[in-house]
Structure 1
């Protein structure tokens, strides 16, 4: 397990490219037959990449890090599959997830394992976990049951569909909100005009990028913007003081996930172009 610590915005603005990538970029999430976990002390979010191959992989806890007997003793979990068909077994119940299907696992779920239906086309389970105070029912969320928002325009190069999988309008959770955004072909901008939300942090996971493509993820305070170059299947940890926008060399898809003080998707502190530097 890799552990990341919080950062003051005053420190963030003096980091060079290598420093920004070291603190905020998460790479190599999917290794065949492995489970990778990154624990950020920014709102204590956990980022996981799970790629079962020939055998199932079990989600276990590290008592020295979390101080609990099992991983979801005081946590909840959101999962979106970005690979081939797979299965998640939670306390003896199997949940099948195709690509872009999601799942919410409530606090108190003990035995959790992940498997691929076909090792020639392995599943890739992208997971976020936040702290929880109450148990809500575990349930799968097929992409067809997501709440959809159609935003943007071709004129502004940001026509996109937002699919909310773990959201109060879809199912109850303690604090985790999670879904993904698909940009239409020929559109490259996300979350512009930019914003922050002091009450919540966010993680962006970019995928469906060709090998020769990239996204320039914009971050930093509105008057102290920086960027991180992100490749396919890499994630960026975005603290609450930072904007989180991006522009790609082509269209792409990204998973967004938030934890914090509320679950209000539209609770944003806008940063107009006049506010940016």
Structure 2
């Protein structure tokens, strides 16, 4: 199952209803046992999905009717993060074991399958002009970058899996940010990525917790109320920031014109 979302103009968010915003930017119901589900957005041609193998094995679908190729990665590269229990991913027959929040980069041209009774795999793919080697990205072995402070309620640890250094990719960048206990804000103060799209997937929320995700142009912000394992498409014209009602983490993934991680435009709080 795959959905298609079209690009939106900046002004569309200013007059949109809550339902309109959710239909355009919120991605829900990606994780269903025994299925692979995805949403394709025309924003930088990113595709996000979820695979929950259960007792079987699931192949990464080609979705030829959307991607126009016989295999999913014929012209794309892939980032995977396990948001469930232990499982493994087969890349051209080679097994890669992934624990909770472990990542995997898969280069263009590969065949991929998912397995693991307790696993739930989140993935994002982007068009790629070249092929680079696949690489396992263990969460416990990635050195986190400490950001924010407890006084500002935005203390968090940034785990950079693919970010334009160390691991070579064509355009894809992705990683995980874990919010410290007692903090609520992520990516605050906010910023813009004028040359690329970013997609957030919020994970590890309790059933009754939510994240209030802020989006829109500076001075005309809107918000989405987001639950566990739900994603938000953040176009280049939109800020992205959020506050949660409890502890959580989020997976960030980016692709576009510039693959330098620090390529961003800060937005001052007084300009919101």
TM-score above 0.5: yes
Residue of structure 1 in register with 2:124 after alignment:
128
Q: Deviations over 1:70-106 (max 9, x none)?
A: 1101000000001011111111111110111100000
- Secondary structure of residue in 2 paired with 1:228: strand
SS at structure 2 position matched to 1:135: coil
3-state SS of 2:100 partner: coil
Residues 146 and 170 of structure 1: is their aligned pair in 2 closer, same or farther, counting only changes over 3 Å?
farther
Contact 1:146–1:170 (8 Å) recurs in 2: no
Map 1:1-277 to 2 at 5 A: 1-109=2-110, 111-116=111-116, 119=117, 122-276=118-272
- TM-score of the two chains, using structure 1 as the length reference: 0.96
Given that 2:36 and 2:61 are in contact with CA atoms closer than 8 Å, whether structure 1 keeps it comes out as: no
Runs of 4+ aligned structure 1 residues displaced above 4 Å come to none
| Backbone CA RMSD of aligned residues | 0.9
Give the length in aligned residue pairs: 271
Contact map agreement 1:88 1:95 (CA 8 A) in 2: yes
- Distance of 1:46 and 1:192 partners within structure 2: 26
Deviations 1:194-234 (A, max 9, x none): 11110111001111111111110000001110000001111
Q: 1:125-158: per-residue Cα shift (whole Å, max 9, x none)?
A: 0000000000000111111332421011000001
Q: Cα deviation per residue 1:25-53 (whole Å; 9 max; x = unaligned)? A: 01111101111011101000000100001
> Runs of 5+ in structure 1 lacking a partner?
none
Distance 1:73 1:80 in 2: 21
Alpha-carbon distance in 2 for matches of 1:254, 1:175: 20
Q: In the TM superposition, what whole-angstrom CA distance separates every residue of 1:216-255 from its partner, at most 9, and x where no partner exists?
A: 0000001110000001111100000000000111221000
Runs of 5+ consecutive residues of structure 2 not aligned to the other structure? none
- Normalised by the length of structure 2, the TM-score is 0.97
Conserved? CA contact 2:13–2:222, under 8 Å: no
